[in-house]
Structure 1
Amino acid sequence: MDIYDKLPAGRQQVTGVGSALVDILARADDAFLEQVGALKGGMTYVDINFINATLAKIPAPPQVVPGGSACNTVVGISRLGGRACFIGKCGNGAMGRLFCDDLEKQGVRAGLLRTDAPTGRVLSIITPDAQRSMFTFLGASAATAPHEIVPEQFADSAIVHIEGYLLFNRDLMMATLAAARAAGALISLDLASFNVVAEARDVLPDLVARYVDILLANEDEAEAFTGTRDPARAMQDLSRHVDLAVLKRGARGSLIAHRNEVLRVAAAGNGDAVDTTGAGDLYAAGLLHGLVRRMPLVQCGALAAACGYEVCQVVGAGIPDNRWQVIQRQMEV
């Protein structure tokens, strides 16, 4: 079915659901990754003591910024001029205030749930090849209960964008999917990380077939989901039960499957990267913003590629104001 025909009339908001996390961005080499037991390019859940102990071993001071996959996406949508909301749970302490203040600054409507537990955080270790490897302490974000997610939270949403990390809390994931569907919103799922896909392999295919309209994956995630590295075969499997499927291939661009056709989207820029943190999240921001604005799919892909490229030129998931202005001018062409 045409994805544009399924968009609910009169709605343009994208609501992200995921973990409210503060990103701690640090630089180190592959030897350091091995020393601390990091899964290169992947994500490992740890406690706060592990993060603090690992930070003590890092030679250079880290950068601390609000983050989280779905949050990064809706912030990008807001910076593109779209309507965006984020739903997640954070603490009442200093880190929680930092997170809330940044959402307000970025123009994102906050549907935040609060608790006295500490706000979650992610230690992202960035190696010289621009790859990021993550240790995650969920903190308050893990305290979100399924009954706290209800259809009324999505009443104004054209698309509900869910990060794959919610698959580690299956009851919460199912509650979110059911609430979004009951509200009449389309559902976008980013597979998040190859190890997330591998651990949810027993439920993920059925979940995608029953609920998901838009499915996004990078090559590692697609391989974990489909069992193949071949782009054509992976796209066939990714798009089997959804209206729109995306395979993100880094410097080689991306593939978007829709209505039995595959659009090839060239990568923006020269392929160089300083840090890949947030690349997939910002790609999703451009794509979803284009869709709710009902831009032609080729334009949605180009906007997604531009956002993904620009965030790779900085450390962290925050594109500078002057580069957002460049992206917005490209939208007007």
Structure 2
Amino acid sequence: KPDAVRLYAWQAVGMIGSIEALDALISHLKIAWGVDRRNILRILLEMPGEVGIETVLDQIGRSGVEQLIDQELMFIGQLYAALLDLPPDQVRLKEADLLRRSLQALQQDAQERIFMLMQFLYPIGAIKAAAFNLQSNSRSNMARGLEILDNTLDIPSKRALLTLLDRNSDLEKVQELSEIVTYESLLPSDRLRRLLELRHFLSDWTIACCFHLARQARWGLTAEQTISCLRHPKGFVREAVLSYLWMASPRAMEKLLPMLRTDPDRLVLAQVHKLMKELEQQPEPIEGTGQIRGKRLNSSNKPGFGTI
């Protein structure tokens, strides 16, 4: 699998330990995201004699590490914005529940990367102790973790970070991040489209969840988002896009499906064959509308079929 191959490759580079190997790791650290960034951080932190930490500070400096932390905070702000605009009481769909859970998982991943980045700036023992206490369900332990960070950190985004880690509401957390990312309330369908604009930072599963929700809620996505994700390397993402397109644009499927008959993923291939058979049985479009009966996009922001 590509993720595992990349991990083994980075581990091999880390084991080499030469100046050139460190340069390669740090160069990719600055542009990597998600799992790749986490893996590179771990490799650098685990290098003997803290050579990885020292080289990172030599090459990008304290300000460079702080910038990486701010990137993670900005991303977390976008995730909280999505959770605020796709609340369970407004978007009551199983697909929305899956998306919300995936967004929460991304938050946890980003927080983990922040703690790893802080180990480049502060005593590793203190940062690990804070992380351990904050993972507890005990209020006293959480308070202890926050106290450790409060006494240790001196980064510009310290207050925002402490607010994120405390038991505050999502809105309070977003408001505290206002200097890093501005929150503007959006309609659920608009927020979903905004979320897909950040697809290069999202996990594969989160992208798939976006398309499943769009399909079930009958919300339209942009052509650029759809075509881009139809080329996604993960089969289950392409499968989600096809399911969405089958709802949103059956006429476009007539052109797309023949192009996908050689898809390397067997599940996608099975879906393509199934949809091609169904397409042969499709009724004629409703005259003058360009729509297939029962397949109309929902122009409102309430999940469900649009009226015909």
TM-score bracket for the superposition, by shorter chain length: under 0.3
Q: How does the TM-score come out when normalised to structure 2?
A: 0.27
Which structure has more relative contact order (CA 8 Å, sep 6+)? It is: 1
TM-score norm. by structure 1 comes to 0.26
* Structure number having the greater helix percentage: 2
